[in-house]
């Protein structure tokens, strides 16, 4: 996919530059990708860094499990609200400016969290962090599509899989180590200087050429997007609290409002995209391979984030292990996914998606059914083994699905396709977290608001059923070895 030779600017200098693609990433392109990958890794790590800390925060701040999980769900929800705007931002502003704004927001949010005197300020900091993080993944994906030739994208997207999946998987481990040696505030004090270094490095070295044009911002679409995604996730998250009688607003109300607002948002984007002014261009959804991959990515991310939020609660509150052991228990799975990311990417370049996605989905399903056998007396090593098998299945799915979905889109839809993929990932993560926390609460025999074996079993059973229902969809994935160039 190539861009026009004119109208393309390098945000470091301003004047037009040639747009002819190189056969391989140039040194400057490699530096840009490395900087974006490293920054995104550190930012997305914060999606799940709070999961192991939930029990400590519940005791320290005097809040319930359902309230505490908003430190994760609120982060994901904010990203889901902001990410649709990135399609507009990537057309309107140079990548360097977007990067610097993103890192500034993230650093500010991290400082707020470190200084937070209580839950409301801590949640505010998490929201500011998420606003900065939301822009980074679409920026990274779009930059790869612009800088990396099609025949090498699988390998590069395998590296991005480390950012998307491994960073949140390692979050609980890092959290457990920090909580054992220090307090929960140090989860942010340690991250802050790293974020500031990345900000300085981006200001000095990030140079990415891009087409920009004065696209108008439709404020009504922004409001509808926020109301739609926010209402749906708030309604889902309220189900667990409603089961304990802790909410004043019935969950169906925000859910219904969110669904209606999302329907109006879609209708408005369809009308605006004819003139090229949509906040989020939905034309990628007209490509069948893109939609199929998107559905499977949603189900995979629901499983990933659902298990990431359930496992720490199960290990600490059911098996009674401490935060340090909990962090170590999920570390092998994170390391395995990190090692498999580039390998799976290279296999995709050779074999295409079908030969990887189908066995990956089968392994994922088996792992989730294995989780349903856990009890109050299960061994920690069994949990570790099941988690490793789970991430092997996810690794075989995520890189091929995301690479194939984006690689089959016309070049002019790169930024919007990346925004759609990133949006549904975060919505799926937030929905998975809310859904499994709710099922765990409803299935728990305890009336004290804690987690017990029966509640964990119900949540894992729900995840296994979802994976089983989705398994036949993988048979529809195409078998092409390389995504077709659409432009």
Which DSSP symbol is given to 134? H
Please check whether residue 387 lies inside any domain of the structure: yes
- Mean pLDDT for 376-402 is 87
Please check whether residue 50 lies inside any domain of the structure: yes
Which DSSP symbol is given to 162? I
Please check whether residue 376 lies inside any domain of the structure: yes
Percentage of the chain modeled with pLDDT above 70: 80
| CATH code where residue 239 lies | 1.20.1250.20
Please check whether residue 331 lies inside any domain of the structure: yes
pLDDT tens-digit readout, 91-131: 778 888 888 999 999 999 999 998 888 888 989 999 999 88
Confidence of residue 332 (pLDDT cuts 50, 70, 90): confident
Tokens 């765990």, residue? 440
What is the predicted pLDDT for the residue at 264?
Answer: 93
Weakest mean pLDDT among 258-267, 331-340, 454-463: 331-340
**Domains: count for the chain:** 1
pTM over 0.85: no
- Dihedral sign of CA atoms 143, 147, 151, 154 in order: negative
Q: Specify burial of residue 38 (Cβ count, 10 A radius: 0-12, 13-18, 19+).
A: middle
Which position has the higher pLDDT, 137 or 208? Answer: 137
Bridge partners (DSSP) of residue 211 are 8
Determine the structural domain holding residue 137 and report its residue range.
22-208+217-476
Q: Measured between alpha carbons, how far apart are the two ends of the chain, in Å? A: 6
What is the predicted pLDDT for the residue at 458?
Answer: 85
* Highest mean pLDDT pick, 174-188, 210-224, 371-385: 371-385
Nearest one of 429, 45, 414, 374 to 233, comparing CA atoms = 429
- Mean pLDDT for 351-372 is 89
Q: Name the 3-class secondary structure at 159.
A: helix
Confidence of residue 22 (pLDDT cuts 50, 70, 90): very low
* Highest mean pLDDT pick, 111-125, 163-177, 199-213, 421-435: 111-125
Nearest one of 157, 158, 136, 144 to 202, comparing CA atoms = 136
Please check whether residue 183 lies inside any domain of the structure: yes
- Mean pLDDT for 276-305 is 81
Q: How many Å apart are CA 311 and CA 315, to the nearest integer?
A: 6
Q: Would you state the structure tokens that stand for residue 282, as one six-digit string?
A: 């939905």
Please check whether residue 10 lies inside any domain of the structure: no
Q: How many Å apart are CA 334 and CA 431, to the nearest integer?
A: 22
* pLDDT for residue 274 is more than 50: yes
Which position has the higher pLDDT, 155 or 203? Answer: 203
Q: Would you state the structure tokens that stand for residue 40, as one six-digit string?
A: 């995104």
What is the predicted pLDDT for the residue at 26?
Answer: 54
Query: Where are the strands (E) in 119-265, listed by range?
Result: 209-211
pLDDT tens-digit readout, 125-181: 999 998 888 888 788 877 777 777 766 666 677 777 666 666 766 776 777 778 777
134-171 burial: b if 16+ Cβ within 10 Å, else e = bbbbbbbbbbbbbbbebebbbbbbbbbbbbbbbbbbbb
Please check whether residue 69 lies inside any domain of the structure: yes
Please check whether residue 8 lies inside any domain of the structure: no
**Taking the CB of residue 449, how many other CB atoms lie within 10 A of it?**
17
Q: Name the 3-class secondary structure at 352.
A: coil
């Amino acid at each position: 996919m190539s861009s026009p030779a004119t109208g393309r600017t390098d945000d470091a200098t301003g004047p037009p530059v040639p747009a002819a693609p190189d056969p391989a990433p140039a040194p400057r392109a490699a530096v840009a990708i490395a900087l974006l990958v490293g920054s995104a890794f550190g930012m997305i790590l914060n999606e799940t860094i709070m999961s192991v800390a939930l029990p400590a925060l519940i005791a320290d701040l005097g809040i319930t499990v359902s309230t505490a999980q908003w430190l994760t769900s609120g982060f994901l929800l904010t990203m889901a609200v902001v990410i649709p705007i990135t399609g507009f931002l990537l057309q309107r502003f140079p990548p360097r400016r977007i990067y610097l704004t993103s890192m500034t927001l993230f650093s500010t949010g991290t400082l707020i969290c470190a200084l937070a005197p209580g839950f409301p300020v801590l949640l505010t900091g998490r929201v500011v962090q998420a606003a900065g993080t939301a822009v980074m993944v679409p920026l990274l994906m779009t930059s790869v599509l612009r800088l990396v030739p099609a025949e090498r994208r699988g390998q590069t997207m395998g590296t991005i899989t480390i950012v998307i999946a491994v960073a949140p998987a390692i979050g609980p481990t890092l959290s457990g180590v920090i909580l054992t040696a220090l307090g929960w505030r140090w989860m942010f004090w340690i991250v802050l200087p790293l974020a500031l270094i990345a900000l300085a490095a981006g200001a000095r070295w990030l140079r990415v050429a891009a087409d920009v044009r004065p696209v108008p911002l439709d404020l009504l679409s922004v409001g509808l997007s926020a109301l739609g995604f926010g209402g749906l996730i708030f309604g889902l998250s309220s189900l667990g609290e409603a089961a304990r009688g802790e909410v004043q607003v019935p969950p169906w109300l925000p859910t219904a409002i969110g669904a209606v607002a999302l329907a109006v948002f879609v209708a408005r984007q369809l009308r605006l995209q004819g003139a090229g002014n949509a906040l989020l261009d939905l034309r990628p959804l007209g490509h069948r391979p893109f939609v199929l991959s998107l559905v499977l990515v949603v189900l995979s991310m629901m499983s990933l984030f659902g298990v990431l939020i359930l496992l720490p609660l199960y290990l600490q509150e059911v098996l009674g292990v401490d935060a340090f052991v909990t962090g170590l228990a999920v570390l092998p799975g994170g390391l395995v996914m990190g090692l498999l990311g580039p390998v799976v990417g290279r296999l995709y370049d050779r074999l295409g998606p079908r030969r990887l996605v189908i066995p990956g989905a089968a392994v994922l399903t088996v792992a989730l059914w294995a989780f349903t056998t856990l009890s109050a007396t299960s061994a920690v090593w069994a949990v570790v083994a099941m988690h490793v098998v789970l991430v092997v299945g996810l690794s075989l799915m995520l890189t091929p699905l995301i690479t194939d979905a984006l690689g089959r889109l016309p070049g002019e839809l790169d930024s919007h396709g990346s925004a759609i993929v990133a949006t549904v990932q975060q919505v799926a993560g937030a929905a998975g977290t809310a859904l499994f926390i709710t099922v765990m609460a409803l299935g728990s025999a305890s009336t004290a608001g804690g987690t017990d074996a029966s509640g964990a079993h119900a949540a894992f059973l729900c995840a296994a059923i979802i994976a089983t229902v989705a398994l036949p969809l993988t048979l529809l994935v195409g078998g092409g070895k390389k995504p077709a160039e659409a432009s």
